[in-house]
Amino acid sequence: MIVPLMEEDAEKNLVINSGTKNFNITDNPDWLVKPLSKEDYYAVKALCTESFPVKYPESFYEDVVEGRFIAFGYFYKDVLTSLMICEIKAICEYEARDRKLLSDGNGHALYILSLAVRGKYRRKGIASALLSYLLNVIVKECPHVGVIFLHAVTYNYGAIKFYKESGFKLHTTLK
């Protein structure tokens, strides 16, 4: 399933409410959003292992912490609680089905590879805060991005609901 923010809707969806439910993460000095680095390798691996049914190769984690991707997370007192991993490429570099997301075949797309929140920190608005940081900081620094998209498995109803509530639209269901 592809859940994209379509190019014609990009402007009205760039700014979202962080949606924090139990606390304001941005006003709490114990919480810090920062890029993932080599020191975070084992924490990133542990969080991905806890969160995803896929076993990633070691090279994936190395790429994440060495800067191949746009990768950042929220840390609570130096403990990685959540992460988001993205990449920006020309739309023509993506799969044929994803190229339809932009009418400009020369445009750029931001693909959200992963968003994960450690179990005990879920349902506190941290995923919304990560998405808000992506849209309000990262994307604003990359004005050439014409579309933001991701894939979610069809049975991940929570993720699909989260992205729809955040302004994304269902584009395609993959088989």
**29 pLDDT band (50/70/90 cuts)?**
confident
Strands 108-117 and 70-76: unpaired
Between 151 and 37, the more confident residue is 37
- 131 within 8 A of 117, measured Cβ to Cβ: no
- What pLDDT was estimated at residue 23? 54
**175 pLDDT band (50/70/90 cuts)?**
low
- What are the tens digits of pLDDT across the range 98-116? 888 888 777 899 999 999 9
The structural domains of the chain, ordered by start, are: 7-165 (3.40.630.30)
Instruction: Output the CA torsion 122→123→127→129 (10° steps).
Output: -120
Between 161 and 11, the more confident residue is 161
- 85 within 8 A of 56, measured Cβ to Cβ: no
**17 pLDDT band (50/70/90 cuts)?**
very low
- What pLDDT was estimated at residue 75? 96
**3 pLDDT band (50/70/90 cuts)?**
very low
Burial zone of 21 (CB within 10 Å; 0-12 exposed, 13-18 middle, 19+ buried):
exposed
* Total-model pTM: 0.83
